[in-house]
């Protein structure tokens, strides 16, 4: 049976901080993600809503979390799939109502068969609704009916909700800074991704298929009991210049580099890791020049991840290093100011066209308002790159960085990144 990745107190603390920002005469409804059809009667692997995982750790489909104030306290209820012998024979064991009530950080559990009756009654007793919409059609319809009904009770006694609010912004702000327990899980995710990349480097050879590298990495994730956090990018040669390359179906020939962007998901939390290495185990001199420039930008970007600085400080630091380097190498023929641009949009963007950082957590591109400065507990990627299409050369390096009260904590400091380290690892 599934179990919680965190102590119950972790979830209860999140619920309390969230509900403290909700008026007590309002009802809260948090549906999880729906299932998605891949083809005919075959579904994509299911992944629960990050909001549901964050608030109560429930990972099964179709469920709805409800919070209602009883005059003294908030009561957290969860609607789940009931036990059903026939369905479980075909589709697997269900946790069911009884086990959900005793094993999860909730106060009550109900069958989804009771959803309409219980939610309708709760809506009629509420002045407003906090709802994440477009995840559950039945919930959306129930709320819409409650908001627009013209019943005698509503007209006479003012019963029923008069407003609907999306609570996502409250939860997004809460999710920006990770707790020590979350950081521990994210470190595990980073460690597994790091070991998978190391294994892929060791097994790389001339004429290796991009799909072979993908299989090594994702196979390692599965061997540890986890899965990828996003579809792996494995691009050899000129495929490395395609930022979101996903075909992974070409062979990588002698003299080419291979760029691998692949992360692991552990208990819902993502890692995001990129390394670039020579398929034959030896960088050429020209490859070394660009690689070391990207590495220098990576280190500068990591160093910039400090409390109190703007969230794009890492990008500015990386842009400065790459701009100076491209001018020194003669790849750019312009001033430093022209390379940087007024809004980090100068000529360097021909060769470094994406950002350096994004937030990381329960989503690969995690939520939050990043107009605020960096804070302790935030986790960002740092991923500068240089892409020279004419030379079929693409190099990107990416680590996951925890912002601390002191120096940045590189969650991926244990995977080789220096040229000498990579060559030594590949030529053992």
Q: Which structure tokens are listed for 9?
A: 């107190």
Specify burial of residue 62 (Cβ count, 10 A radius: 0-12, 13-18, 19+).
middle
Catalytic residue among 38, 41, 152, 342: 41
Tokens of 205: 């050879």
Measure the CA–CA gap between 321 and 77, rounded to whole angstroms: 52
The maximal CA–CA distance of the chain, rounded, in angstroms, is: 82
Q: How many CB atoms lie within 10 A of CB 309?
A: 15
- The pair phi, psi for residue 9, each rounded to 5°, is -60, -30
- Catalytic member of 337, 365, 369, 418: 365
Distances 121 to 116, 125, 159, 160, 347 between C-alpha atoms, Å: 8, 7, 10, 9, 61
Please list the alpha-helical segments (H only) found in 255-403. Answer: 285-303, 313-328, 336-340
Residue 82 CB-density burial (10 A; 0-12 exposed, 13-18 middle, 19+ buried): middle
Catalytically annotated residue among 191, 218, 256, 261: 261
358 is catalytic: yes
| 38 included as an active-site residue | no
- Catalytic: which of 25, 244, 254, 421? 244
Q: Which of 358, 363, 376, 423 is catalytic?
A: 358
Is-contact 24 44, C-beta < 8 A?
A: no
> 69 an active-site residue?
no
Q: Read off the DSSP letter of residue 93.
A: -
C-alpha–C-alpha distance, residues 234 and 250, integer Å: 9
Q: Which of 212, 396, 400, 410 is catalytic?
A: 396
- Decide if 272 is catalytic: yes
244 tagged catalytic: yes
Please give the span between the terminal C-alpha atoms of the chain, in angstroms, as a whole number.
Answer: 42
The catalytic residue among 272, 298, 366, 400 is 272
315 catalytic per annotation = no
Active site residue 383: yes
Q: Which of 182, 320, 398, 400 is catalytic?
A: 398
Please identify which of the residues 267, 354, 376, 423 carries the catalytic annotation: 354
- Catalytic residue status for 205: no
Q: What angle do CA 159, 165, 166 make, to 5 degrees?
A: 145
Active site residues: 41, 244, 261, 272, 354, 358, 365, 383, 387, 396, 398
């Amino acid at each position: 049976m599934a179990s919680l990745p965190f102590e119950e107190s972790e979830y209860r603390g999140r619920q309390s901080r969230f509900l403290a920002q909700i008026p007590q005469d309002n009802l809260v409804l948090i549906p999880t993600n729906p299932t998605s059809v891949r083809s005919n009667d075959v579904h994509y692997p299911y992944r629960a809503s990050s909001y549901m995982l964050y608030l109560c750790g429930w990972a099964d489909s179709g469920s709805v979390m409800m919070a209602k104030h009883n005059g003294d306290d908030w009561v957290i209820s969860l609607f789940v799939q009931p036990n059903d012998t026939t369905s479980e024979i075909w589709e697997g064991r269900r946790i069911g109502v009884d086990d959900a009530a005793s094993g999860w950080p909730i106060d009550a559990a109900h069958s989804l068969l009771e959803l309409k009756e219980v939610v309708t009654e709760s809506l009629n007793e509420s002045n407003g609704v906090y709802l994440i919409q477009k995840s559950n059609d039945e919930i959306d319809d129930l709320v819409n009916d409650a908001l627009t009904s013209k019943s005698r009770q509503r007209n006479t006694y003012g019963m029923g909700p008069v407003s609907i609010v999306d609570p996502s912004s409250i939860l997004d702000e809460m999710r920006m800074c990770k707790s020590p327990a979350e950081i521990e899980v994210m470190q595990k995710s980073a460690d597994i991704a790091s070991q998978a990349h190391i294994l892929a480097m060791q097994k790389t050879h001339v004429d290796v298929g991009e799909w072979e590298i993908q299989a090594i990495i994702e196979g390692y994730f599965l061997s540890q009991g986890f899965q990828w956090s996003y579809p792996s990018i494995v691009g050899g040669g000129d495929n490395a210049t395609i930022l979101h390359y996903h075909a992974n179906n070409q062979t990588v020939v002698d003299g080419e580099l291979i760029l691998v962007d692949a992360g692991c998901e552990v208990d819902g939390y993502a890692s995001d890791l990129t390394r670039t290495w020579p398929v034959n185990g030896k960088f050429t001199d020209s490859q070394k020049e660009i690689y070391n420039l990207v590495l220098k930008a990576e280190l500068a970007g990591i160093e910039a991840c400090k409390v109190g600085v703007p969230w794009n400080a890492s990008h500015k630091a990386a842009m400065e290093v790459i701009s100076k380097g491209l001018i020194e190498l003669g790849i750019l023929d312009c001033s430093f100011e022209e390379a940087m641009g007024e809004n980090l949009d100068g000529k360097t963007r021909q060769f470094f066209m994406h950002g350096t950082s994004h937030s990381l957590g329960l989503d690969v591109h995690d939520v939050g308002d990043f107009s605020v400065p960096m804070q302790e507990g935030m986790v960002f990627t740092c991923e500068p790159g240089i892409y020279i299409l004419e030379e079929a050369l693409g190099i990107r390096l990416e680590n996951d960085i925890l912002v601390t009260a002191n120096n940045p904590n590189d969650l991926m400091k244990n995977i080789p990144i220096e040229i000498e380290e990579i060559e030594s690892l590949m030529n053992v």
